[in-house]
Amino acid sequence: MYKKSKRKEAVGGFLLGAGIGLIVGDVVKGLVSDVDYPSGFTYVGAGLIAVSIPVLSGRKKMLNTSIEIYNEGVKGSTPTLGYNFDMNIITNQNGIGLNITF
């Protein structure tokens, strides 16, 4: 579910960026040449932006759900880093040292 939300984010971001790029490119083309401004690129860009909105809308909820599922699965296991480590002071012929085991 986490990968699905990241894929939705990537696809939606690509569609949004492509739509904005097409609109900006058409505006620049309209400003520097004698072509009518709202050409097909503007309409295609607006369509891509409109398609990206529903694609991007559900990604945050899906990401939060996947994090909650993961946290529920980890809740019963033993604690890891921060709670499950061993620290010893070691002395030998080379000197004094600190041994930390995770």
Q: Which residue has the higher pLDDT, 2 or 81?
A: 2
Is the pTM value of this prediction over 0.85?
A: no
| CB of 12 closer than 8 Å to CB of 56 | yes
Local structure of 33: helix, strand or coil = coil
pLDDT tens-digit readout, 27-74: 998 889 888 888 889 999 999 999 999 988 888 888 899 989 888 887
Residue 61, domain extent: 2-101
User: How many domains are contained in the chain?
Assistant: 1
| CB of 81 closer than 8 Å to CB of 52 | no
